[in-house]
Chains A and B, each alone.
Chain A
Amino acid sequence: MAENIEEKVTKIVAEQFEVPVEKVALSSLFLDDLKADSLSVVELVLAIEEAFGLEIPDEHAEKIKTVGDVVNYVKARVQ
């Protein structure tokens, strides 16, 4: 399950920001490393919510800066 979450998040991130899956690491910063803009990050959060059937409160969404942040949040919520 844990690996599945990581894979699934990586795939969604790659798709949202139009980068190859290989370029997406857990440490990747959305704005700096993946050259995403802030609106795309908002869109990513919504896509993650839909993919995992959960809601990420805005106050927490604002703290999500990397792929790892997403994976950790999702893991904590679905496990």
Chain B
Amino acid sequence: MPRRVAVTGVGLVTPVGVGTEETWRALLRGDCGIGPITRFDAASFSTRFAGEVKGFDPTRWISAREAKAAMADSFVQYAMAAGAMAMEDAGLVLEGALAERAGCFVGSGMGGVSTIEATCQALHAKGPRHGISPFFVTQIAISLAAGQLSIRHNARGPCYSQVSACSSGAHAIGDGLRVIQRGDADVMLCGGTEAVVTPLGVGGFAAMHALSTRNDAPALASRPFDLERDGFVLAEGAGILVLEELERARRRGARIYAECKGYAANADAHHITAPAVAGEGAQRCMRAALADAQLDGSEIDYVNAHGTSTKMNDAVETFAIKQVFGAHARRLMVSSTKSMTGHLIGAAGSVEGALCVLAVARGQVPPTINYTTPDPDCDLDYVPNIARDAKLRNALSNSFGFGGTNACLIFGRHEG
């Protein structure tokens, strides 16, 4: 019997709110965090909107100097903010022996893209000596989000980054679960972070025709499972959870949001962007996560879908859910919070995992907004447009990344 793992802290920085409660309340209201791009002049781009984090002041969590130098890229700043929120929420200070039993896994899909862009320009304008900051490498490297978080919180255990496109954050949480289960650590700060609302980020996803081009109505653009969906909406932010060995959390009287019960990771081994036929990899991943949690499909009440709002994903994911859950699929609540946050790429899995944690803890299910026209290929209960009160036993979070990398996480209600 592996050790059990509790979620004792949650930190969120998303396009609908800077803060866990801000984000949660906005999602229950059905707020949309998507709007015209302000980070750069997007006039010449085919997609000119995104889910930007708004009102973010990094100096609430890091010094002005750090924000300009070692932590200049937003992807690290978002992780530092979400990590600090999660640690404060958990009421944990890492000292002495505990510090060596605590680690950091922070994933990201792309790392410090905006810093790479700016440095390239400076390199061409000023040459290498004055164009490239001595902090450049440590500003852009994906693993520095985990590294900086470990330095700030004195976490001296396992520390690295999961990199798997849109499932990075989910893999980070799942791997954190495993580390605690097998006894290599007692506390893990885990999640994902992303900040690629930049010319290369937006332009790159636009070039592959993955993004919605609904420029006349950005707030209606992310519409997972709706017949009129036309692509995903790029977004940014971070989600960090504090995972803690359950008995330890109980002993110290921590508030336990939920139990992290199951995890599976696999690959489609099929195509760089398209899901496998019939969502074979996704099906296998969901089944493996259920087996890992020792749960029957009928014990899941809510699925936070990958639900990107692309034609292909939403239909294939729906089919895969129906194959895995059989008749119970009709009783499942399946929502895509990407309808409100947009797609946070490497942070998506951890933000959505955190939302499953909150849904289980509070008995509330965030909706899929912009759901107006049913698609015959998408015929489940997507919790359309309005949040729902529902006592949840277990929630499943799906994350499927480019490259065919899949991750499924299961969080269950903790009976105090």
Which residues of A are interface residues toward B (Cβ below 8 A)?
16-18, 39-40, 42-43, 46, 49-50, 55
Contacts and interface: CB of A to CB of B under 8 A. Distances in A.
Contact of A39 (B63, B64, B130, B135): B135
B60 interface: no
B133 interface: yes
A16 B68 CA distance: 10
Contacts of A46: 129-130, 134
Given A39-B70, A42-B134, A43-B134, 11 more contacts: A16-B65, A17-B65, A18-B63, A18-B64, A18-B65, A39-B135, A39-B138, A40-B69, A43-B135, A46-B129, A46-B130
A43 B130 contact: no
Interface string B45-68: 000000000000000000111000
Contacts of B69: 39-40, 43
Interface in B101-150: 129-130, 133-135, 138
Contacts of A18: 63-65
A71 to B, nearest CB: 21
23 contacts: A16-B65, A17-B65, A18-B63, A18-B64, A18-B65, A39-B69, A39-B70, A39-B134, A39-B135, A39-B138, A40-B69, A40-B134, A42-B134, A43-B69, A43-B133, A43-B134, A43-B135, A46-B129, A46-B130, A46-B134, A49-B130, A50-B130, A55-B129
Interface in B52-104: 63-65, 69-70
A18 to B, nearest CB: 4
A54 B255 CA distance: 58
Helix, strand, loop or mixed for chain B's interface? loop
A46 to B, nearest CB: 6
A51 to B, nearest CB: 12
A42 B69 CA distance: 12
A24 to B, nearest CB: 14
Nearest to B64: A18
Contacts of A16: 65
Nearest to B136: A39
Nearest to A43: B134
A71 B70 CA distance: 26
Contacts of A42: 134
Closest A-B pairs by Cβ, 5 of them? A18-B65, A42-B134, A39-B134, A43-B134, A39-B135
A19 B69 CA distance: 15
A20 B69 CA distance: 18
A16 B69 CA distance: 9
A41 B70 CA distance: 13
B201 to A, nearest CB: 26
A46 B127 CA distance: 12
B118 to A, nearest CB: 15
A18 B70 CA distance: 13
A78 B69 CA distance: 28
A42 B132 CA distance: 11
Query: Which residue among B69, B129, B134, B138 has the maximum number of chain A CB atoms within 10 Å of its CB?
Result: B134
Interface in B191-232: none
A43 B129 CA distance: 10
B136 to A, nearest CB: 10
